[in-house]
Amino acid sequence: MLPEKCDSLQACDDKLTGRRLRIPHVYTMAYSNRSFEALTYNATTRRFWTTTENTLKCDGYKPTITNKEVNVVRLQSFGDDLEPLEQYWYMSDSTSTQDYYRRTRPFAYFNEPSLVSAIDSVKRKTYSYPSGDAVRGWMYALTLALVVPDATEELMKRAEEYAMSRIICGRHYKSDIEASLVEATAIMSRLLSNEAFTKQLSKAKEEYQSKFCRPESSK
């Protein structure tokens, strides 16, 4: 359920309105307890955005620490009327690096609960080096920095804060976070030689320029 009268979900008082997103049927194929991540809102494009947490059954097998499947994530947008709009999918991190190093997570090593203790029993079976969540955070920042170079410093600072939160909640060590930045940088280097990626990147730059950057003559 979503707030009814606000440009930002954070501006609301958490009261339920009875309004619901119309979720496309494909998302009913999520594996148990592996559906959507957080919902965000872009007031400029007037889009709600969410992403799946894991591979849907129609996209492949659920990644585990043993099968080494690659995570296929779907990104979904909704309009102000809560009707579904754009949908994208991309291949996320695989479990191979963590499975190779098999580093026990801090909270598990010290036999203490993490800040998200409800799923500690699951996370105890996975490994910490490098941090996959931090890799995604760095990747988002690096990608957006290519679209908006003037915001590079702010974007990287935000990605660092996100990465550090993984240490605070007890899921990762500092070296896990440092390694995630190296991995994200290497991935970005490969992506920049990928024609499909660079085409989409050019489109994103053009869209940003057309919507947010006025010509010098009109200033």
Percent of the chain past pLDDT 70, that is, above it, reads 80
Contact in structure between 137 and 144 (CB atoms under 8 Å):
no
pLDDT score of 171: 87
Mean predicted confidence (pLDDT) in 79-91: 83
How deeply is 179 buried, as exposed, middle or buried, from its count of CB atoms within 10 A (0-12, 13-18, 19+)?
A: buried
Residues 19-39: b if buried by 16+ CB within 10 A, e if exposed: eebeeeebbeebeeeeeeeee
d(CA 118, CA 100): 26
Does the pLDDT value for residue 7 go beyond 60? no
Residues 105-114 pLDDT 10s: 888 888 888 8
Query: What spatial distance separates the first Cα and last Cα of the chain, rounded to whole Å?
Result: 42
Question: Residue 72 has what pLDDT?
Answer: 78
Q: What would the mean pLDDT of 62-66 be, rounded to a whole number?
A: 66
The DSSP bridge pattern shows strands 47-51 and 84-94 to be unpaired
- Per the DSSP assignment, residues forming a β-bridge with 49 are 40, 77
Return the residue matching tokens 């947490």. 53
Cβ-contact 137, 157 below 8 angstroms = no
- Phi and psi torsions of 88, nearest 5°: -130, 160
Q: Is the pLDDT of residue 202 over 50?
A: yes
Q: For 83-113, what is the HEC assignment?
A: CEEEEEEEEEEECHHHHHHCCECHHHHCCCC
Domain extent listing, the chain: 1-94, 95-219
Element (H, E) at 149: none
**CATH 1.10.3720.10 applies to domain 95-219:** no
